[in-house]
Amino acid sequence: MATLQFNNGKTLEIQDGKTLLDVVARLNGKSKPVAARLNGTLKDLRTVITGTTQVELISFDSPEGRDVFWHSASHLMAQAVKRLFPEVKVSIGPAIDTGFYYDFDKPEGFTQEDLEKIEEEMRKIVTEDIPIIRKELSRKDAIDLFSTLGEIYKVELLQELSDDIVSLYEQGDFIDLCRGPHLPSTGYIKAFKLLSIAGAYWRGDERNKMLQRIYGIAFPDEKMLKEHLTFLEEVKKRDHRILGKDLDLFSIHEDAGGGLIYWHPKGGRLRAVLEQWWREEHFKNGYEILYTPHIGRATLWETSGHLDFYKENMYSPMDIDGNDYYIKPMNCPFHIKIYQTSLHSYRDLPLRWAELGTVYRYEKSGVLHGLLRVRGFTQDDAHIFCTPEQMEDEVREVLRFSLYMWKVLGFSNIKAYLATRPQKSVGEEKRWIAAQESLKKAVQAEKLDIEVDEGGGAFYGPKIDLKVKDALGREWQMTTIQFDFNLPDRFDLYYIGSDGQKHRPYMIHRALLGSIERFIGILTEHYAGRFPVWLSPVQIILVNVGPEQADYTKDLALKLRLQGIRVKTDLRDETIKYKIRDAIEQRVPYIGVIGGREMQENAIAVRTRGQQKPETMKTEEFITFIQRQITLQQ
């Protein structure tokens, strides 16, 4: 008999040689597992049980369960494609955070009608409830098999493996090279939808052939699929690329350079308001603001190590007076050069230096995505230089400051992720331990949920990442608090301690919003373009009923502008209904209607965003009202 010890403390004896499917049938639970972890390793439910085994059943609700489910759905799709288009070559089809995809070599490409045919064939395969069976072959035999099938991409992958034995998964007339694990059968995949088609270079290399990538999503039941598709519709409505165009915030011009953002007047005002608030808050919290160059000599990047480990993300050098200069991918070496201009005592520390520094990093054209993935961006960078005694307080203060900023910006669902020392690292062990402990204590003090990634830190120091959830529940990695034991050594940084000796300072990198471009993209989607009053690039649009109110409307706009209110006028010779409808589409907080009565009474008929009925206010009353709204929100 085999003894199964479950993670909930229960045990079960079952005949040796039975599978996990037999175990699940014995348990007869409400939830339907999709895989299991045996002695810590994720396995198929068709795995045979022997001896004493630690068992944790994995459901679709867990990240591992979704990965297994979606990976199996990608194989289901590939099988359907091969049935319908036997000439197509398959390449890879992984699960991803948002579902799954599979890349196919189909020279003429897929059409929307093809997707519908593929979905129908997938339904047939699900109805057939075909067992999904794991097989193992020698690498040589697997190469022979896929060569016979004409699957050139699988052969290429196999030729690069060093394993003598490889695993394959077979479901009826379809077989694929895969590590697994997978679902027991195709019948588990009850609900799915193919979402889109895109081009993708084989292995992500622009020098390789362009393949056809089909994205999809799958769930155990139709209700979950319907809810997800509704969610995707909401995501589509909030797409910052569409809103950016509709609200006239920014543009991208491929003919002038992909991944580079052009801020229009309204987008520029939004960014200016955000950056002004950012600076004011940093001054309040003891930071000084730096401005540093956009380029630096190769020797700087050699000393920092960027030319050794980051060169592929840097642009080609330019020759200036016979020396190579690189456009900066990061601000840190420049801040360090400023640190080196003075001799620092322990009494001078901590130093908190921040910069809205524009950097440039190479990204492949295929991954560029509106404001979220760009080649040139402004980073809200900061570096803190402190003594060991100050380190814990500084980390707590950085975290407190970060959480305050996120609260004002409208994000309250925040989780911390702590990455600790990897096997290969630089810096003394005691400094790593002290740094990690300070990060952990700061998170605990703020009572944040925390997930620890043991050994997942960068080679030069541990870090905390703060991930925030937006209005749709999507998680975004934002604030980073990162220790650096590498650059202080490379640049030989020191301060004079109370003992009169040189000591190495702790250096902490801190990006709060990260990229300003990316943050504004996230912010736009979070608010669906309906920015809070204090952030809105236009806080009120004034519309006149007729031409006789035009001069009064212009004078009123000037009066509001002098009070610091961001105002726009619509004096077009259109109907008032048309102008109000257009203002609503601009998603401004307030629309001010000026008719004959309002002009006589020095008033504004104020229509608040989301409301139908206007409220008439005296001009001074409205100024006090909107200024109070701004103060309350900040």
Average pLDDT, integer, range 226-234:
95
Q: Residue 331 in contact with residue 353, Cβ under 8 Å?
A: no
Q: Is the pLDDT reported for residue 142 higher than 70?
A: yes
Q: What is the mean pLDDT of the chain?
A: 94
Element (H, E) at 66: helix 63-84
22 pLDDT tier (thresholds 50, 70, 90): confident
Average pLDDT, integer, range 204-229:
94
Distances (CA, A) of 247 to 202, 241, 251, 524: 37, 10, 11, 10
Q: What is the pLDDT of residues 384-429, one digit of tens each?
A: 999 999 999 999 999 999 999 999 999 999 999 999 999 888 888 8
Distances (CA, A) of 568 to 539, 542, 565: 8, 6, 10
**Hey, what's the torsion of the CAs at 241, 243, 246, 252, to 10 degrees?**
-20
Q: What is the pLDDT of residues 265-284, one digit of tens each?
A: 999 999 999 999 999 999 99
Average pLDDT, integer, range 434-445:
92
What is residue 10's predicted lDDT score, i.e. its pLDDT?
A: 87
Q: What is the pLDDT of residues 475-518, one digit of tens each?
A: 999 999 999 999 999 999 999 999 999 999 999 999 999 999 99
Picking from 134-143, 329-338, 442-451, 526-535, which range would have the lowest pLDDT averaged per residue?
442-451
In CATH terms, 540-633 corresponds, of 3.40.50.800, 1.10.10.10, 1.50.10.10, 3.40.50.720, to 3.40.50.800
585-598 b/e with 16+ CB inside 10 Å = b? Answer: ebbbbbbbbbbeeb
What is residue 365's predicted lDDT score, i.e. its pLDDT?
A: 84
What is residue 14's predicted lDDT score, i.e. its pLDDT?
A: 86
User: Does the pTM exceed 0.85?
Assistant: yes
Cα-based angle 412, 418, 419 (whole degrees, multiple of 5): 145
Closest CA to 365 of 518, 477, 205, 240: 205
Q: Residue 510 in contact with residue 480, Cβ under 8 Å?
A: yes
Secondary structure of 363-422 in the HEC alphabet?
CCHHHCECCCECCEEEEEEEEEEECHHHHHHHHHHHHHHHHHHHHHHCCCCEEEEEECCC
Q: Is the pLDDT reported for residue 71 higher than 80?
A: yes
Q: Is the pLDDT reported for residue 106 higher than 90?
A: yes
Tokens, residue 161: 């493996």
* Same-fold call for 2-59 versus 252-292+328-526: no
Q: Is the pLDDT reported for residue 31 higher than 80?
A: no
Q: Does domain 2-59 have CATH number 3.10.20.30?
A: yes
**What kind of fold does domain 64-229 have according to CATH?**
Threonyl-tRNA Synthetase; Chain A, domain 2 (3.30.980)
Average pLDDT, integer, range 447-471:
91
Percent share of the chain, pLDDT over 70: 100
30 pLDDT tier (thresholds 50, 70, 90): low
Known catalytic residues are 332, 361, 379, 381, 383, 463, 509
Q: How many CB atoms are closer than 10 A to CB 555? A: 11
Percent share of the chain, pLDDT over 90: 87
In CATH terms, 252-292+328-526 corresponds, of 1.10.580.10, 3.40.50.1820, 3.30.930.10, 1.10.10.10, to 3.30.930.10
What is residue 29's predicted lDDT score, i.e. its pLDDT?
A: 67
Q: Is the pLDDT reported for residue 28 higher than 80?
A: no
Cβ-based neighbours of 337, under 8 Å, separated by 6 or more: 300
Q: Is the pLDDT reported for residue 333 higher than 70?
A: yes
456 pLDDT tier (thresholds 50, 70, 90): confident
Sequence ranges of the domains in the chain:
2-59, 64-229, 252-292+328-526, 540-633
CA–CA separation, 544 and 576 (whole Å): 7
What is residue 616's predicted lDDT score, i.e. its pLDDT?
A: 95
Q: Tell which wins on pLDDT, 273 or 612.
A: 273
Average pLDDT, integer, range 178-203:
95
Q: Is the pLDDT reported for residue 364 higher than 90?
A: no
Axis-axis angle for helices 265-284, 388-409 (nearest 10): 140
> How many Cα atoms are found within 13 Å in the side-chain-facing hemisphere of 631?
6
